[in-house]
Structure formats: structure tokens, C-alpha cells
Structure 1
């Protein structure tokens, strides 16, 4: 066990609540910003630059943890390490029960990648981090140059961690239109590691001129282009549903916040386009929806609605696992009103002296459908389109449309070393082999039972034994990232399994007399050994030790109800468990109360 100090923690902000529940193989909820330089990256200098940047942004030294009612972020003393790019872009970063940082910095040739799990921060926070990282790297790489700083030194860690949703929540209710079911893009869907990534290079000035000529903003112009590219793929018989576009919006443009946490909302634009619709029709709809006043009203209403739900006293008291089911269901149902997503980070600015070394910035994200992201640096604009659809017709339509508008388009030849490589999954393959072996053993037992001893159905007991073994291994595999949680789950299954076996074999009472007290005591000792062997911090092991001590209540209940006949094992177990809990409270009192506060925050 290491590090006796208590770590900082904060609740997950409102916009991030759904990300841990909704993340998975279909969508990792990871986005990537990158900076393409004009020279190869030096890994050692990039590592030093990352360490310098982390000193200014300790808010990023967080791991995601589960309470009984909410997720929360806890600061950890984990090193942030630069790696050469090897995995597919936007690969999984948050793994339940695996205490790792929620971002990854990698490099490849001339490119610096910064990938973030969306629960940690939003696009604005990530871009600020990347800009300072690039600045620190170039200062180290070229000490002969005089570079200006790209950060605001007057901001404090408290400013970075501000919960701006609560800060600007007004409680005001406004009527808003209900979302309608939208057209869903058809096609063969790919796995996450096979996600298609298309980058289109444009002139930012040319796009701005075209948008101005149509009397709309750049965001409205490109949003309409994406909508129309999707529209061209829809059979005319399916135009009964709108092409609905979701556009994330940076709330810092509407409220004075310096928060590095998630502070964003979104608008939905439903485009009803008839059989003879033109690009101008789509422009008219998106342009009207993105007018500042209409945008501010919808965003403020949505923000208030989400904070109101979070503050509902009944919903706050619902256990996290049930909340997760509701969040997953809500995400799935909410996705039915969205056809595609467009996120525009806007113009990225760096001091002029950096232009000698920076070629461009880029931005794209994981998705469960089709999503377009854009950003610009100087005159270089990049559209990053990610898709789970096997064909690239929408991307082709978009390029054709922009070219007709007089905008030169160049499709970047993507060079992602890990893309489309199949993961090695050795542990998963081993589990499949074990599962198949268990099934084969059960089938063979029943065959032998039927052929050799049909008068005695012993194969039923063999099946139950194999199932118990399989269940313990399966739970061990699922919880392998957290050995203490694994130990608690194993204890639960052993206690339940022992009682069921005792009952099935005529109830001798060995399960309650000996098996359960012994399992509780062994579990407590095992947890102490594991905590020391893995050199865990107090916040990592204390709550599980509390659970282990509380498990001593089970033999006490069985003893008081008269189920136990041989009492001395239960007496020893209960007595030692009580001393165990008292000892934790005496010697870890502050940490004990702190963990209770975090885990039981409603």
C-alpha cells in the first residue's frame, strides 16, 4: 500500500454523466485532436513537454471511479506517458475497474495525437491542452527561437474544475418542440477498430467566402453541406422522415467560464427536404437554426432541463447501476432523432512565430453512425469524417458538392498505423476455449450417464459443478482489472454456491457452519495481501476492505436466526470482522469518512 495522502476528487459534470454508461465497442466516446508539424517528432522531448503541460493542468490527472449513486473523478499520481502510435484511432481509453488516466498522447512521424475520453473534458478543453503541449514541445525542440506563451497564467485549478452547469443553472422552464424520429443511414456497420476515417483538406478562406455569399455562418454552411450529402443517398420513398443534424455547442461562448471540464450542449436541426430539394433549401434551414438568439434560447433551455433532472431528489437516490440502464436506454432512444452529427471547433490560433513549424491541426471522433468534425489553422481547414458505414458515398457526395461550390477539395491519404489491425484478444480467446471445454465436458457427462447408468442421473451434479467453475472463472475474467472487486464478487458467489450445494445434497449445514465464515475470513486476509502486493493507494482499497469487514454480518445473521448449529466458526468470524471494522475506523478515520462521502454522495 502506498501514498497515505488523500486525493482530490470531484463529481462528474452534467454533460459527462452518460459517457461512462454509453461507452463500449460500438462507440468508445473518445475524440482525437492532432497537430501536424513540418518535422519528425522527437519522443523524449515530447515526453518532457507533456510533463510540463501536466503541471499546469493537474485537472487531467484523474481516473474515473464508481460511487453507489454517481460516477466521480479522482486525482491520482499516475505518470502520463507518450507512446508511439500503434492502436486504431479513438481506441478505448476508459475501461471499467481499470485505474488509468482518461487521455493518451501519442506520436507518429510528424504528428502529435491527443486522444481523450469525453467524460474528462470537451473539445475546447482538449484543444487548450494540445496547444500548450505543442508550444512546450517546440520550445524544447528549438531553444534558439523565441516563442510566445499560449496559456493564461491567471487561471487557477479551481477555475479549471468549475462546475459551470451548476454555476449558470437558472431553473427556468421553457417550452420546446419534441424531437421527431429521423432518417437513419442504412448500410453495413463496422466494428470500432474498423471505423472509416476520411479527412478532407480545404481552404478556410474559400469556405468563408462561400458561406458569406450565401448569407450564413461557416458552421451553418458546412452543416447544410453534410445534410445534403446524406439527403442525396436517401431513396425518394423514404423522405417521410427528416434528416436531423446534431451540432454540439460550446457554452463558453454564452457564459463566462474558464472550466476545463465538459461545458457544452447541443442543438438539433430537423431538415424536411422534399423530392426536389436543393442545397439552398438545406442552407435556409440550418442558417435560421444557428442564428445567435435562437441558438442561445435552445441551448439555455436544454442545459436547464439536464441540470434539473440531475438535481431531482428521487432520481439522485436511484443506485448507479439502475441509472446506467436508464442512461443507456435514453442514449439509444435519443439517437433515433439524430441522423448525423457535425462538430466545429472553429479557428485555432497560435502566435505567428509557430507557423514556421506547424502545418495544420485536425480533429475527429469515434461514432456509432456518421460524424463530421472541422477545425482550421491559418488557411488550412480539415474536415474529419468518421463513419461506421462500410461505403463512402456520403463523403463522396460532400466533396462533389463543395467542388461545385468552387471549393478545391483534397482527400488526405490517411496514415494510421493501427487502423484496421485486429486486436490480439489472447485472454478473450482463452475464455472462449475454456467455455467450450466446459460445454464439451457437460455433454460428455450426459452422454456417459445416459449410456452407462441411466438409473442414476449424476450428470446433473456434474453440470452444476462445471457451471460453478465456469461462473467463477467468468467473473474473475470480467473483474480482472480490479483484484479487490474481483475478490468481493468471488466471495458472494462462493457463499451463494455453498448454500445451494448444501441444499441440493440434503442440507447437512456445512455451508453455514464452516464454508461461509471461513470464506469471509480468507477474503479479508486476501484483500490485505492484494492491496500491499499491488501497492494500492488508500482510496483504491479502503472501500473494499470496508465491504470485506461488513461481510462478517452474514454469519451473524445466520447465527441469530438459528440456522447455524456449530457456532464457534461464526463467533470467530463475527468477532474478527467487528474488530476489523473498528480498526479501520480508528486508524483510517478521516479516510474512512472521505470514502463514505464519495461513495454515498447522492
Structure 2
């Protein structure tokens, strides 16, 4: 950690509260600290704790973990940081690891490009007026005591998943998205609400493949595949088709550039900039509830395969990814693959476990063997 952190100054920051905005400043406090892993990971970040550090390092046996506050970086940037940390660790153990596959050279200074605001660079077209999605099925449940995060992981074969997705003529991400939508539709139907609402997911999209950038800061947008039961019943094949065509239609350079331009225009609004932060906070909190929580039933993110140099491969068994605590007691889903092992995580503060249970049961019924692990006590 001491060798790696100086190479990534955008991770070595703290959050400060100004009169009009929160902002980052370099954190010159000792640390961040390496701690023994905990049973309930991804706890909320308290800006005045741990000397203001927004990254955490944990170890347990042969497990190395990194937690990153999402305002610091997205999944793609955090994985580059983590990959470099693993390379430095293995070099300290005497192995020769090349600086390839995204691994940064810790003996070189950080580049200006890694710290750029890529949103601002590509906000050049007419912004798209975003339509706020309808209120979605919320998939809430009984809240656990504070600082409790239930984590359930499923491990399965990438080859088996790829073959199954190919049988539907879709990608692995599209297939798993459709499975989660089907499970949530069935769950809502079992609850027999007075009115069934759309089931919708927030799917973060890494923008770097469409807008070349070396930034390690956030550079993502979110798309919203949804199924509305008010339109009638859907077979799973129809859900898969809906997801496939929705993602292919909405994930393109033109659509995403218009969306990110709208986001940038909002943050650079002159009137908004002069509103004091004590007034901004309650308004932004309401806006997050209306636009960030209300239109979604949950989140599913898949940063893709974790590729490393062949010299590192014998030292890594598998990768895991966990989304942090949500503002509401609902589970969120994330997946990542390494070699032929796909790891799928459900994490949340809800006591009930029927979402993840039915998700993995669906995969098994569809012919995909799954090994399940959890930190739940029952």
C-alpha cells in the first residue's frame, strides 16, 4: 500500500465541505491503514473517521480486499488501482510482474490524463432531456440493524454461462440482467400488490470504450432496462429479447454523449453554483430519492473479466466484487469473472434473502451449477 498509493493521487484524497459544494483535497494524514477483514464489509464512509481516508485495505488469510468510496472512482478505475496493488505485492514476494493489462508503473509519476474530468471533455453536443422513469417495484424488506451488510456470493462457470447466453443469442450481462428482472417480477407477483409496478434495474456503463480516456475518476452512465407487468405477462425468452434490444439501442456513442452533456450542464449551472450547500443538501437528497431510488428495483453491475499478465495468473484463485450499502433495505447485484469462474454477489441490508435465493435457483434450473457462500448466520 505504501508503494502503490503515491502513484494514484486521485485516491489519496479527503472530502471537505465548502460554502457551496463538497470538494476533494489531498489527504496528507498517515495511512490509509491496512486492517484485518470484517464480516460486514462496505460500511458507510464517515468523512471524519479514519483521518478522512476514502479507501480501505483489508486482509484475511490469503484474501486481499480494497474498498473505494464511489465518489473517488468507478469500478474500472478501482480495478486498475487494485490490479497494480496486487502486482506490487507479488513483486515484494519476489515474483517478476510486468506493467501490462492496465497495471501502472509505481516508479513513474502519475499522468495528467489519469486525473482528468472526462465528462467535461466529452460534453460537447446538445444535451438530451432525460425522462424520469416511472416509480418501479422497490423490492424492500425488513431492515437489518445498522452496520449490517448481508453478502451472498454464487460461483459458476463462465463457459457454462456463455453457452447458456449464446442459446438465447445474447451476452452474459444481458442474460444475467434478464434473470434478475424475471426473479423480481415473480417476487412482486407473489406479494400480490394492489398495483404491480414496472421492474427496472440500474446498469452502470463504463464510458471509456466509447470515449477514449485514461481517467481513473468516475466515468460512467446508467441505463434502465425495465419490464412493465401492466402490459401483460412475459415469458423469459421475451424478457431476454427486451433486455438485449434495449441495451443495444441505448448503449451507443451518440445517446451517451447527449446524456453526459446533460449531467455536466447541470453541475455547471451558474444559478446552482451560488446556492449555499445548506440549501442544496435537502434538495439533492430529494432529487436522489426521485431519480436515483424511486425509478429502480435494484442495481446490477458487471465490470467484465479481470485480466492480468500470465505471470500473475498462478497466484490468483478468483475475484470478488461487492456493492456497498444502499440507502434502502434492498439487495444489489454485482458480478466479475476471472478465468472460468464467474462470481455473482448480492449485498444489502435486508433480512429477507428470497431475491438471491430465487436468482441462483433460476440459474440451477437453467442448467448452470452454482456454489453459494454467505456471511448470513441463518
State the TM-score, normalized to the length of structure 2.
Answer: 0.90
Q: Which moved more, 1:166-175 or 1:195-204?
A: 166-175
- 2:160 pairs with 1:209: no
Structure-2 separation of matches of 1:186 and 1:100? 31
- 2:23 pairs with 1:72: yes
Asked if the contact 2:57/2:65 (under 8 Å) is kept, the reply is yes
Q: Which moved more, 1:283-292 or 1:218-227?
A: 283-292
Comparing both chains, which one has the higher relative contact order based on Cα–Cα distances under 8 Å and sequence gaps of 6 or more?
2
Structure-1 separation of matches of 2:356 and 2:296? 18
Aligned counterpart for 2:260 among listed residues 298, 303, 306 = 303
Structure-2 separation of matches of 1:58 and 1:261? 11
Aligned counterpart for 1:360 among listed residues 318, 321, 345 = 318
Looking at secondary structure, tell me which structure has more helix per residue: 1
Structure-2 separation of matches of 1:412 and 1:68? 46
Superposed counterparts of 1:162-173, under 5 Å: 162-173=116-127
Change (3 A) 1:304 1:202: same
Structure-1 separation of matches of 2:317 and 2:333? 21
State the TM-score, normalized to the length of structure 1.
Answer: 0.58
Change (3 A) 1:140 1:147: same
Deviations 1:257-286 (A, max 9, x none): 111111111011121236642211211111
1:139 maps to 91
- Give the deviation of 1:147 after TM superposition: 2.5
Structure-1 separation of matches of 2:249 and 2:98? 33
Change (3 A) 1:337 1:57: same
Asked if the contact 1:57/1:157 (under 8 Å) is kept, the reply is no
- 2:291 pairs with 1:341: no
Aligned counterpart for 2:208 among listed residues 243, 252, 272 = 252
Deviations 1:480-518 (A, max 9, x none): xxxxxxxxxxxxxxxxxxxxxxxxxxxxxxxxxxxxxxx
Counterpart secondary structure, 1:193? coil
- Give the deviation of 1:91 after TM superposition: 1.3
Change (3 A) 1:88 1:293: closer
- Give the deviation of 1:326 after TM superposition: 1.3
Structure-1 separation of matches of 2:279 and 2:130? 28
2:153 maps to 199
Deviations 1:308-359 (A, max 9, x none): 1111111111111211111111111121110111011100101112221110
- Give the deviation of 1:407 after TM superposition: 1.0
Superposed counterparts of 1:532-547, under 5 Å: none
2:8 maps to 57
2:236 maps to 279
Change (3 A) 1:51 1:266: same
Change (3 A) 1:319 1:175: closer
1:179 maps to 133
Change (3 A) 1:297 1:340: farther
2:42 maps to 90
Structure-2 separation of matches of 1:293 and 1:184? 23
**Larger Rg over CA atoms:** 1
Aligned counterpart for 1:149 among listed residues 80, 96, 99 = 99
Change (3 A) 1:93 1:358: same
Change (3 A) 1:155 1:377: farther
Asked if the contact 2:158/2:342 (under 8 Å) is kept, the reply is yes
Change (3 A) 1:279 1:131: same
Structure-2 separation of matches of 1:110 and 1:351? 20
Superposed counterparts of 1:311-350, under 5 Å: 311-334=268-291, 335-350=293-308
- Give the deviation of 1:155 after TM superposition: 8.0
Structure-2 separation of matches of 1:152 and 1:287? 35
Counterpart secondary structure, 1:198? strand
Which of structure 1's runs of 4+ aligned residues deviate more than 6 A?
Answer: none
Deviations 1:454-484 (A, max 9, x none): xxxxxxxxxxxxxxxxxxxxxxxxxxxxxxx
1:220 maps to 174
1:464 maps to none
Asked if the contact 1:93/1:116 (under 8 Å) is kept, the reply is no
Structure-2 separation of matches of 1:129 and 1:173? 32
Deviations 1:39-76 (A, max 9, x none): xxxxxxxxxxx111112112221111111111111112
Number of aligned positions between the proteins? 365
Q: Which residues of structure 2 form unaligned runs of 5+?
A: none
Q: Which moved more, 1:370-379 or 1:153-162?
A: 153-162
- Give the deviation of 1:219 after TM superposition: 1.2
Structure-2 separation of matches of 1:356 and 1:70? 46
Asked if the contact 1:59/1:157 (under 8 Å) is kept, the reply is no
Structure-1 separation of matches of 2:96 and 2:274? 55
Q: Which residues of structure 1 form unaligned runs of 5+?
A: 1-49, 421-602
Counterpart secondary structure, 1:338? coil
Counterpart secondary structure, 2:311? helix
Deviations 1:190-215 (A, max 9, x none): 24422221100011111111112211
- Give the deviation of 1:96 after TM superposition: 4.7
- Give the RMSD, CA atoms, in angstroms: 2.1
Structure-2 separation of matches of 1:310 and 1:146? 45
- Give the deviation of 1:109 after TM superposition: 1.1
2:332 maps to 371
Aligned counterpart for 2:223 among listed residues 259, 267, 286 = 267
Superposed counterparts of 1:15-30, under 5 Å: none
- 2:75 pairs with 1:123: yes
